[in-house]
A and B are shown apart, each in its own frame.
Chain A
Amino acid sequence: ETGVTQSPTHLIKTRGQQVTLRCSSQSGHNTVSWYQQALGQGPQFIFQYYREEENGRGNFPPRFSGLQFPNYSSELNVNALELDDSALYLCASSLELGTDTQYFGPGTRLTVL
Chain B
Amino acid sequence: GQNIDQPTEMTATEGAIVQINCTYQTSGFNGLFWYQQHAGEAPTFLSYNVLDGLEEKGRFSSFLSRSKGYSYLLLKELQMKDSASYLCAVRVFMDSNYQLIWGAGTKLIIKP
The chain A residues found within 8 Å of chain B, CB to CB, are 2, 33, 35, 40-45, 48, 55-56, 58, 90, 97-98, 100-107
5 A–B contacts from the bound complex (CB under 8 Å): A41-B104, A42-B103, A56-B95, A100-B48, A101-B33
Task: Report whether B102 and A42 are in contact in the complex, using a CB–CB cutoff of 8 Å.
Answer: yes
Chain B proximity of A54: nearest CB distance (Å): 9
CB neighbours (8 Å) of A106 from chain B are: 41-42
Chain B residues with a Cβ under 8 A of chain A: 4, 30-31, 33, 41-45, 48, 87, 89, 91, 93-105
Given A33-B100, A45-B99, A97-B98, also A105-B45 (CB < 8 A): no
| Interchain CB contact (< 8 A) of B43 among A44, A45, A55, A90 | A90
| Majority DSSP secondary structure for residues of B touching A | strand
C-alpha spacing A101/B89, complex, angstroms: 11
User: Given A56-B95, A98-B91 in contact, is the A41-B42 Cβ separation under 8 Å?
Assistant: no
Chain A nearest CB, measured from B14 CB (Å): 25
Q: Select from chain A the residue with minimum beta-carbon distance to B31.
A: A100
Residues of A within 8 A of B44 (CB): 2, 104
Tell me which residues across on chain B come within 8 A of A2, comparing CB atoms: 42, 44
Partner of A105, one of B42, B48, B95, B103: B42
Bound-complex Cα distance A46 to B31 (A): 20
Give complex CA distance A98, B48 in Å.
12
Which of A48, A58, A103 touches B45 (beta carbons < 8 Å)? A103
Interchain CA distance A103-B42 in the complex, whole Å: 9
- Not counting A42-B103, A42-B104, A90-B43, a sample of 19 additional A-B residue pairs whose C-beta atoms are within 8 angstroms of each other reads A42-B105, A43-B43, A43-B87, A43-B89, A45-B99, A45-B102, A48-B97, A48-B98, A55-B97, A56-B96, A58-B99, A97-B97, A98-B91, A100-B31, A100-B48, A103-B45, A104-B44, A106-B42, A107-B41
Candidates B48, B89, B99; contact of A56 at CB < 8 Å: B99
Q: Is the CB of B105 within 8 A of A41?
A: yes
Q: Which of A35, A44, A98 meets B30, CB within 8 Å? A: A98
**How far, in whole Å, are A100 and B31 apart by their CA atoms in the complex?**
8
